[in-house]
Structure 1
Amino acid sequence: MSDSKAYSATEREAVYRVIAERRDMRHFRSDAVDPDIIKRMLIAAHQAPSVGLMQPWRFLQVSDSALRQQLYELVNDERLRTAEAMGERKSEFMKLKVEGILDCAEIIVAALPDGREKYVFGRRTLPEMDLASVSCAIQNMWLVARAEGIGMGWVSMFDPQALAQLLKMPASSKPVAILCIGHVDEFYDRPMLVEENWTQERPLEQFIYQNYWPETAEEQGTTSSG
């Protein structure tokens, strides 16, 4: 007997499908996104779970073109620094498209607010749970975007302090993500880094342990293939 609280088979399939087909997008068109879709994305973000119900997400919608250009320059600076840190993979890395800031229709910066130290519930030993909560909010946005046929990309390649200063954020707040949102010609069939042969996905079985952490990663087949 099926559980009466479960969704219908069609509804469940839609949930599984949007999770499987969500992609971190880098290629966008610049035509406008319906403001109602952006609102639905933000409503979904605000419905995310948060530790202690602290709701630590803040969203800065960037509409100023000059500010968008500054965001791009800040990300590009870090892109060059990251390339230098890549060693022998530097030239390969520089061929990757790592953001769509100047191409997409909308930019939203997701951030952690100041004053987070007052929230102790669920954070006394794991203070980073505020970041986990914001990540859940971003994932909700991603799933709504994909369901609406809109692309979204999470850009994390920036100096947090420099970005915070640029956005005039309070001293103890912290930017988490630059979110590029817009129409796309198509969604990647697989994660872009897989399609670009940068890395390969590994099967779920390599990430599941039983009871105790194995003595060596090799015992669970978790060595990287490069």
Structure 2
Amino acid sequence: MSDQAFSDAERAAVYRAIAERRDMRHFSGGSVEPALLARLLEAAHHAPSVGLMQPWRFIRVTDRQLRARIRAHVELERIQTAEALGERSDHFMKLKVEGIEQCAEVLVAALMDDREKHIFGRRTLPEMDMASLSCAIQNLWLAARAEGLGMGWVSMFEPQALAEVLGMPVGAKPLAILCLGPVAEFYPQPMLVMEGWAQARPLSELVYENTWGVHP
């Protein structure tokens, strides 16, 4: 084992947070203490980013009317998604896809504007700015789980419409509406598995060796 490894208990805690992280839709109200919220955002800010561009921007939504407007955008997209799903639309409409009204905090995670000037690591893979923001969101998610808070990533919205609602500059792009707060309990499995929408695939099916499709 490497001399730089954490202790057994520390490693176990890291792997537990990873294994028990859930995309939460059911919240129990309450609040998140300012110091705890600051700690979670600091964890997000420690994420890796291509070229150290730190493309993440977080908008904390504290205005209840603004929160309601955001939820209305999500509801519109939920209906349009159901229509696009065809024969699975009825099943989809029974799923709970967000907890915007019930959660303690709503954060919108967005990509900053003026990103085109950042070329380091993005010349052939410009989407690495999105990958960097995703790493920040994952950091926040895992830290929240370790703190006993639930978090859900809502992606059902039209980016430009949400950007306008939040007064974002041209070029900035919202990537996630994050619902954060206390929960009564964490799902024992991913919610979509519990609801019979999908089944998680085993890792063995997703790891190849040397050539695409060739399993070790």
TM value normalised by structure 2: 0.98
* 1:31-46 equivalence runs, <5 A: 31-46=30-45
**1:223 alignment partner in structure 2:** none
2:177 match: 178
**CA–CA distance in structure 2, aligned partners of residues 25 and 93 of structure 1:** 17
CA-CA distance at 1:172 after TM superposition: 0.8
| Residues 1:194 and 2:183 are matched in the alignment | no
Matched to 2:13, the amino acid is: A
In structure 2, what residue type is equivalent to 1:199?
A
Distance (whole Å) between structure 2 residues aligned to residue 103 and residue 132 of structure 1: 29
Alignment of 1:104-143 (within 5 A): 104-143=103-142
| Number of the residue aligned with 2:160 | 161
SS in 1 for 2:69: helix
Give the letter for the 2:116 counterpart.
Answer: E
Once residues 201 and 22 of structure 2 are traced to their aligned partners in structure 1, the CA distance between those partners, rounded to angstroms, is 17
Moved more, 29-38 or 144-153: 29-38
Q: Which consecutive unaligned segments of at least 5 residues does structure 1 have?
A: 221-226
- Using the aligned pairs only, state the percent identity: 63
Q: 2:49 matched to 1:17?
A: no
Give 1:213 deviation, angstroms: 1.1
CA RMSD of aligned residues (A): 0.9
Farther-moved stretch of structure 1 (27-36 vs 11-20): 27-36
Residue 204 (structure 1) aligns with: 203
Structure 2 residue 67 is the aligned partner of structure 1 residue 79? no
* Partner deviation per Cα, 1:64-100 (whole Å, 9 max, x = no partner): 0100000000000000000000100000000000000
Tell me how far 1:21 sits from its aligned partner: 0.3
Structure 2 residue matching 1:86: 3-state secondary structure: helix
Q: Which runs of 5+ in 2 are unaligned?
A: none
Q: Distance in 1 between matches of 2:194 and 2:37?
A: 28
**1:4 CA displacement:** 1.7
How many residues matched?
Answer: 215
What is the distance in 1 between the residues matched to 2:8 and 2:44? Answer: 25
- One-letter amino acid of the counterpart of residue 79, structure 1: R
**Partner SS state of residue 58, structure 2:** strand
Paired residues for 1:24-103 under 5 Å:
24-103=23-102
**Which amino acid in 2 is paired with 1:147?**
A
**AA of the residue aligned to 2:148:** G
Report how far residue 3 of structure 1 moved: 2.3
1:188-222 deviation digits (Å, cap 9, x = unpaired): 000000011110011001001110113xxxx76xx
Cα distance in structure 2, aligned partners of 1:36 and 1:80: 37
Deviation, 1:18, is: 0.4
1:145-196, CA deviations, whole angstroms, 9 ceiling, x for partnerless residues?
A: 0000000000000000100010010111100000000100000000000011
Separation (CA, whole Å) in 1 of partners of 2:4 and 2:207: 28
